[in-house]
Amino acid sequence: MLPITDVVKNLIIINVLIFITVTLTPLGSMLPDMKLYFPLSSHFRPYQLVTHMFMHASMGHLFFNMLALYFLGPYVEKFAGPKKFLITYLLAGAGAFLAHIGIQYYQYSSMGIGQFPPALGASGAVMGIVIAFAVLFPNVKLMLLFPPIPIKAKYLGLAYVLLDLFSGVGGFQPGVANFAHLGGAFTGFILTYFWIKGSRWR
């Protein structure tokens, strides 16, 4: 395992500090709503497009996102460099919210659904980094937590994508933004395959 890199470390610190501030201190109730609302909602604010990526619904939500970033992020950052890594992370988060909002707008315009819970979390951005790792190091074996078995990175990335696709289409995980995960995964794949990996080998 590589030592933690600077951008990964700073992202983890920012996410943890924001979670502590919002959930465990009185200051949290004084801050503006940083979750991402549907753009047609009266609660939507443009800054939420960024701030929601640093919010988490629970300690478990934060823990597993930061765990994946801690273990896989340093490899991607070392390969890509700090600047490209950070851009990939943020653009994967952007791809996540675009996919999420796109699905919501489709449901609103075509299906008449008008009530959407706000989105929050770094899962889309982290999914982009997970897929980036799978593209850069496809045959590296990773140890799953549950069950504790080794699996190649390319198969793990594919499994995550298929699980989110299946759950999103079937609606099997209410409250989970599966299409946001897919948007982050797609963005991470495109950026890594054509920009990070492609420029490295040219």
Q: Which pLDDT band, with edges at 50, 70 and 90, does 201 fall under?
A: very low
Neighbours of 48 (CB within 10 A): 22
pLDDT tens string 3-28: 999 999 999 999 999 999 999 888 87
Class at the top of the CATH hierarchy for domain 6-201:
mainly alpha
Q: Which residue has the tokens 């889309």?
A: 124
pLDDT tens string 114-161: 668 889 999 999 999 999 999 999 999 999 888 889 999 999 999 999
Question: Taking Cα atoms as reference points, which of 136, 137, 132, 138 lies closest to residue 154?
Answer: 138
Q: Which pLDDT band, with edges at 50, 70 and 90, does 108 fall under?
A: confident
The length of the chain in residues reads: 202
Q: Which residue has the tokens 């790792």?
A: 133
Q: Which pLDDT band, with edges at 50, 70 and 90, does 31 fall under?
A: confident
- How far apart CA 76 and CA 133 sit, in angstroms, is 6
Higher per-residue pLDDT: 178 or 175: 178
Q: Where are the beta strands (DSSP E) in the chain?
A: 141-143, 150-152
- How far apart CA 132 and CA 123 sit, in angstroms, is 14
Q: Which pLDDT band, with edges at 50, 70 and 90, does 97 fall under?
A: very high
- How far apart CA 36 and CA 53 sit, in angstroms, is 9
Q: Would you state the structure tokens that stand for residue 151, as one six-digit string?
A: 């699996």
pLDDT tens string 40-91: 889 999 999 999 999 999 999 999 999 999 999 999 999 999 999 999 999 9
pLDDT at position 200, please?
57
Q: Would you state the structure tokens that stand for residue 85, as one six-digit string?
A: 């890594």
Whole-model pTM: value is 0.92
Domain ranges of the chain: 6-201
Averaged pLDDT score across all residues of the chain: 92
Using the CB atoms, write b or e for 182-199: b if 16+ within 10 Å.
bbbbbbbbbbbeeebbee
